[in-house]
Every structure is written in structure tokens, then in C-alpha cells.
Structure 1
Amino acid sequence: MSTQPDSVPLRTKLLFIAELAEGAERYDDVIVQIKTIIKKFGPRLTNDERNFLSVAYKNLTNTLRNSWRTVDTVGKLEASRPTVVARKVMLIQKQRVKIEKELSDVCKDIVHLLDSKLLPAVEKGEERVFYSKMKGDYYRYLAEFSRPEDFEHYAKESLDAYRSAYRHALVTLEPIHPTRLGLALNFAVFYHDVKKSPDRACHLAKSAFDDAVLSPQASDPGLAQTIREALQILQLLKDDLIAWSKEIPDDGERYN
């Protein structure tokens, strides 16, 4: 058996385990590995580390949000039946509250990590936009599933984070940059889903769409990968514009 010391750096090992965990869809394990990297090496993450963290939290919350919607739909169906079985409704409500608690815990965990470690250490540019957007996203999820007494607080925190990210993106990132476009898409979703303002959502989405399409970088052959990523987001922006514009009185065709 070899007695040579292991020459693989600890940070590389932790990242490999995070990658392995992501492939196995063990997202809690991914988060543990990235948090260990932050604890041992500081809050400045590499792009790969940052992306693993983002994907892990996104998948955890997506699963919980989908579970909540399923249980909520079943609850409404049961409540609408001619003969309502009170015990069933109570059990459904209990399950929904449990999911809400789990979702709230995950969202608050990443928001705390962002506020206490990641955002204080960022430099200007894409990294700051990325983390501020994440903060806006998870406060948006909290607002979507919160109790009425907490809604305004979470909505305000989400809006403040998105505004901070968007102001910074406008002066540091090109209009075609995927992070800037992804921020515009999610910020528009916030206006539509949380603020119930399809008009403002359409205005923001169309502005981002037009700026990207008219950007000189949109036809730069040296940015092929960036353009491919941007095109995917632009298609989502276009789809949302078409859907949301139909909700605006007398303006249903404006964004078609």
C-alpha cells in the first residue's frame, strides 16, 4: 500500500464530491460541500463552486414548490366536493403547512448565506449581479408561499434585491450577457407573480429583450457560447411577453 501523502488539494476533493453529489441528485450533500469550502477557504467561490451551489438550492426549492402546488390543488379539489370530508381537508392542510416550513427553511438558509458570507465578499460586476439576483429569487419564493402577515416583508426584500442587482447589471454587464438577461427574466416574473402587474412585467421584459437584440455583441462570432445561452433566455422572455400581454386590457397584441 502506498505511503505517499495524498497530493490532491482539499478544495479539489470537496468540489469533486459536490459534482458527484449533484450527478446523484443529492442536493443537500452538494450544499454541505460548498459550505465546507466557504468555511475553510473563504467566501470567494469559483464559477464552478458557485454554479453547484446555485443548482443545488434551485433543485431543492423547485421540488418543494411543485409539491406545494400539488397538495394545494388536491386541497381545493376536496374542498369543492358536494360532501366535504373534514378529516381529509385537515390532513391536506397539515401536509401543506409541513411543505411550507421546509421551503421556508431552505430559502432562509441561502438568504442567510448570501447576506452573511457571499455578498459582503463580492467585487463589482457579474458576481455581484448573480448573488443579488439569487437573493431576489429566494425572497420571491418566500413571498409566493408566505402567510398574509409576512407577504409584504418578503416582497419588499425581493424587490430591493432585484433592483440592486438590475442597477448594477445595467452599468457592468452587456445587454446580451446571460446573467443580466436571466435577472431581467426573473425580475419580470416577480412583477407578474408577486406584484400582479403584467404591465410592468412586460415593460421590463421587452426592454431587456430589445436591448439584447440591438446589442453589437449579439452578432459577434467570438461570443458564440454566450449568444447561445442568451438566445435560450430571450426565447423565455418572448414567450412570457406574449402570455402576459394578453392580460393587459386593450393591449393584448402589443408584444406579439
Structure 2
Amino acid sequence: MTKEEGGHNKLGRRIVETVVGNFIRFPSCFLTEFERQPNSPGIMAVDKEELVQRAKLAEQAERYDDMAAAMKSVTETGVELSNEERNLLSVAYKNVVGARRSSWRVISSIEQKTEGSERKQQMAREYREKVETELREICYEVLNLLDKFLIPKASNAESKVFYLKMKGDYYRYLAEVATGENRNMEDSQKAYQEAFEISKNKMAPTHPIRLGLALNFSVFYYEILNSPEKACQLAKQAFDEAIAELDTLNEDSYKDSTLIMQLLRDNLTLWTSDTQNDGEEATEGGDN
């Protein structure tokens, strides 16, 4: 099973990945007199703080749709997200879309294996299409937030790479369920490539976001473009460059970076192994 950042495999098993409605209003009893005034800057500040707290509670309760809705509202305030808020947004949507990706794979497998019963096959197809619709809506919601708020507001290379990688990921998820003329691979590749160029110039080879980008970009080459040689070359280069500078890793990012390096190595092992592994799915790498 190939490794990428976040999602589930064909059988619904959790895989590791490197890893946002209208503005939510709260009852006026929670606001001070100043904050109740129209156009008061206090309303946005209090609402944002409350929304972030609500997202954290939803994460602990594993209610990721609620978590995503809260972080979507935070994003729509138009203020650049902090690193913590950025990660909350990513984790929320990764879990929301991950559940649909897993369901789609399971149902697609059932649909392909259903023989001798036209009615059962039709039911499986209709259910798959329902899940596809949900998945597309989630992806377009995230892509809209990225293009409208997150990427334009990114004030440093780390944030820019993070959001461009995210953009590549969600276009990749759309490509996973699309067929024929509807399968657009260019948008995903363009976002990944732009992020890749920035990361090479502005970030250390051991940076977990740069490593996570290399991991998912290589999965894109392997699974979407069917280019195993390019996938292996990209993954190996990222791994080797990180190994060469391993002694420069700081304590804060050591765990994340070494985890993603392990995932890169796992993918390389899988992709270069015997044909008995053909058809296994690449795994994405951990949240960063």
C-alpha cells in the first residue's frame, strides 16, 4: 500500500497522510455590550476565537464535518491563518474528504465484483455516484477557500507551499474519481510543481512540509500519471537530500520529518518491488 498524506485504502483501512458555510453567530448573551454593537471589531475577534475552540472540540469528538464548518468560517473572515489554524483546517478537511475517498473505493470494488444481478450493480453504481458528488463538493469547497482566501493571503514561503500542496492534493482527489474527458490532471500537477519550485528555493530538504509535498507529488506521478519512474526519482531525491542534512533537524520537526522520510522509503520499496505488488495503492504521508 503506497503512502501519501491522509486518506484510506481500498479496503477502508486508515492510511497515514501529511496532513472549512455561512458565518456562525453565537447568542448575544455571550457578548459584551461593546461586542454587540453593529460593525464592532470585537464581534469578529470573539467569533474567530470561539470558532477555533469549536473546531478543537469537534476534532476531539471526531466530528470532522463540524470541525471543517468552523474552520471554513474562520477562513472566510479573510485574515491570514496562524500555523495552528492552518493545521486545524487541513486536518478537518483531510478527514472529511478521506471518509468519502475510502467509501468510494469500497463501493467501486463492490460494483466491479457484482455479477449476475443487474439490479445490485445498478444500486452500487448509484451509491458510488452519490459519494462522488459529495467528494467533488468537498474538494471544490476547499479549492475555493484556497484560491479566494488562503493562497492570496499567504505571506511566507512555508504557508504558500502548504496551501499549494493542499491545492494539488484536492485536484488529485478529483482526478481519482474522474474518467475520460472529465479527468483533469493538469491543475493538480501545476499546483504541485509551483509548490515544489518554491520549496526547493526557500525551505530546507528536511522541512516536513517540503518532504510532505515530495511524498504526495510522487504519489500523483505514480497513481494519476502512471509514471513510476518519475515517482521513484522524485521520492528518492527528496529522501536522499533529507538524509544528507539530517543532522540539521531541530527537535520540533524531527518526529514529523523522520516519519515522512520513512513513508518515502516505504513507497520506494513498494514501487520497486516485484510485480506481485502491482495494483496496490500508494499511501500518503502524515499531517504537517
With the length of structure 1 as denominator, give the TM-score of the two structures. 0.87
Preserved contact between residue 198 and residue 247 of structure 1 (Cα < 8 Å) = no
**How far apart are 1:65 and its partner, in Å?**
0.8
Output the amino acid matched with 1:96. R
Task: Write the distance in 2 (CA, Å) between the matches of 1:247 and 1:128.
Answer: 38
Tell me by how many angstroms 1:9 deviates. 3.6
C-alpha deviation, 1:224, in angstroms: 1.7
CA 1:3/1:237 → structure 2, altered by over 3 Å: closer, same or farther? Answer: closer
Separation (CA, whole Å) in 2 of partners of 1:3 and 1:113: 28
> Which residue, out of 142, 155, 166, partners 1:110?
142
- Aligned match of 1:120: 152
Distance 1:4 1:224, change over 3 A: closer
Higher relative contact order (CA 8 A, sep 6+): 2
**Match for residue 167 of structure 2 among 111, 117, 135:** 135
Larger radius of gyration: 1
Q: Residue 240 in 1 paired to residue 267 in 2? A: yes
Change (3 A) 1:4 1:85: closer
Which of 238, 247, 270 is the equivalent residue of 1:219?
247
CA distance in 1, matches of 2:239, 2:140: 31
Q: Does structure 1 residue 10 correspond to structure 2 residue 47?
A: yes
Could you tell me which amino acid in structure 2 is paired with residue 110 of structure 1? V
Q: Which residue of 1 aligns with 2:104?
A: 68
- 2:199 alignment counterpart: 169
Q: Distance in 2 between matches of 1:161 and 1:49?
A: 22
Q: Residue type matched to 1:226 in 2?
A: S
Provide the residue aligned with 1:57 in structure 2.
Answer: 93
**2:220 is equivalent to residue 190 of structure 1:** yes
| Deviation >3 Å, runs of 4+ | 2-10
Structure 1 unpaired stretches of 5+: 249-256
Give the Å deviation of 1:226. Answer: 1.0
CA distance in 2, matches of 1:27, 1:199: 36
RMSD: 2.0
CA shift, 1:76, in A, is 1.6
CA contact (8 A) 1:199 1:245 kept: no
Partner of 1:44: 80
* Aligned twin of 2:235: 205
Listed one character per residue, the Cα deviations across residues 208-231 of structure 1 (whole Å, up to 9, x for unaligned) are 00000001xx2247x123122111
1: CA distance, partners of 2:132 / 2:142: 16
Q: TM-score, normalised by structure 2?
A: 0.78
Offset at 1:3? Answer: 11
Percent identity of equivalent pairs: 40
Q: What amino acid maps onto 1:211 in structure 2?
A: E
* Aligned partners of 1:184 and 1:208 also within 8 Å: yes
Mind listing any 5+ residue stretches in structure 2 that lack a counterpart? 1-28, 36-41, 276-288
SS at match of 1:196: coil
Aligned length in residues = 237
Report if the CA contact (8 A) 2:75-2:145 is conserved. no
The separation in 1 between residues aligned to 2:227 and 2:274, in whole angstroms, is 9
Q: Flag the structure with higher helix content.
A: 1
